[in-house]
Amino acid sequence: MKALLNQIFKTQEFRLGEGTISGYIACLLAILSFLGTIAFHFPEYLTTPELRQNYDVEFLRILMFFSLVISGSLGLLNLVFNKNKRLGIVAWCFVIASLLLGGHQVEVGDFPENTPYLGLDWFILDLLGTTLIFVFIEKLVPYKKDQAILRAEWKTDLHHFFVNHLLIGFVLLATNHFVHGLFGWTQSENIGQLIASLPLFIQVFLIIFIADLIQYICHRCYHEIPFLWRFHAIHHSVKTMDWLAGSRLHLLDIILTRSLVLLPIFALGFSKSVIDIYVIVVGFQAVFNHANVSINFGWLKYLIVTPQFHHWHHASDRSAIDRNYAAHFSFIDYILGTAVVNENEWPENYGVVGEKIPTGMLKQQLHPFVIKKN
């Protein structure tokens, strides 16, 4: 078991017996408990309407109580036995903050259902579910078998994950209001009815295909227009590909791209259920295609975007620069002549060529606005 854990958490930061692993677990549970407490206080703004209808509040209270107990206990052990007590201090800060705000005992009263929301509950479930699923897949069928889960710069990408995933609900809501407010006149009832009359699988194909065409155009502009590249280069600064790498995006990059992609989707009148399916597909592919996994898709790789296909988009090889733009359907790149042609099966190195991108989320958000010195 010890050998297995050492293999999973193979990194300079992690050595079993030093309390670092328990410290990170304590911090994770403490932070999630704190976020849960905040969500209890402001459910109308921080929880997703579709999810809150299915919650068992009493079960959530019990779950939060044990999370606080475990995180507090592990944090205390870290403070007593670990030389680096920072993790224990952080965990206890969030535990104390949660308790001061009421913790698992916060009462949830009646609230309106039609308020704008961020979807903090979706973020928590997304983080836990994504971590468990993709960490397992990466260890089951890895491309680079010796790559650590907590590789270099994982903290930077976790910060990106936190901010970007919280923005999903906000961008969907804001874009919906924007389209209906300024472009409502473009909506055709006949087109909407025509789309609704199609079989569900055709509607899903259409929404993904239309979104991917817009995504392709936006993506290509990001690469070929120097001003836009300064923002998109943040995403390409990742040098180690895994499930978390896809979260590294500049805020203006993600907001602009998602807004432009969602505009035609809303304007064409796709139903909410079809849009929900699209959002799930986008979320899965965005994580899966960056993951450190080696799965043979055979001829399907010429139709859909796979991890192998998208890894080449992030490669620093000369033949891979400004190639493989599609996010869902790889045949778009093959038809338009922008697919990578390389004899090697997988790229060896990743990252931005000829430009130094700083580490840390805040520095990366500011980087596009920094004037280069000659």
| pLDDT tens-digit map of 11-58 | 444 454 556 778 888 988 998 899 899 999 998 888 877 777 788 888
Residue 46 lies in a domain: yes
Residue 243 is classified by DSSP as T
Tell me what pLDDT residue 78 has.
85
Same domain assignment for residues 229 and 106: no
Last residue of a domain, one of 117, 141, 168: 117
**Per the structure, how many domains does the chain have?**
2
For 194, the domain range is 154-369
Tell me what pLDDT residue 269 has.
86
Same domain assignment for residues 177 and 319: yes
3-state percent helix, strand, coil for the chain, nearest multiple of 5: 65, 0, 35
Residue 185 lies in a domain: yes
Same domain assignment for residues 266 and 327: yes
Tell me what pLDDT residue 81 has.
78
- Please calculate the CA angle 254-257-258 and round it to the nearest 5 degrees: 80
Q: What is the pLDDT of residues 144-170, one digit of tens each?
A: 988 888 888 988 998 898 888 777 666
Residue type present at position 75:
G
Tell me what pLDDT residue 168 has.
63
- The rounded distance, in Å, linking the Cα atoms of 246 and 303 is 21
Tell me what pLDDT residue 184 has.
65
Tell me what pLDDT residue 366 has.
95
Last residue of a domain, one of 97, 117, 137: 117
Q: What is the pTM of this model?
A: 0.81
Q: Tell me the Cα Rg of the chain.
A: 22
Tell me what pLDDT residue 19 has.
60
Q: In which residue ranges of the chain is pLDDT below 50?
A: 1-2, 4-5, 7-9, 11-14, 16
Tell me what pLDDT residue 2 has.
46
Same domain assignment for residues 103 and 195: no
Tell me what pLDDT residue 1 has.
42
Tell me what pLDDT residue 8 has.
46
Same domain assignment for residues 167 and 106: no
Same domain assignment for residues 229 and 351: yes
Backbone angles phi, psi at 103, to 5 degrees: 55, -135
Same domain assignment for residues 111 and 198: no
- Within 10 angstroms of residue 365's Cβ, the number of other Cβ atoms is 18
- Tokens representing 12 are 């300079």
Dihedral (Cα; 321, 322, 323, 326), 10-degree rounding: 140
Residue 374 lies in a domain: no
Tell me what pLDDT residue 176 has.
65
| Integer CA distances (angstroms), 125 to 10, 138, 234, 257, 325, in order | 26, 20, 26, 24, 29
Same domain assignment for residues 223 and 325: yes
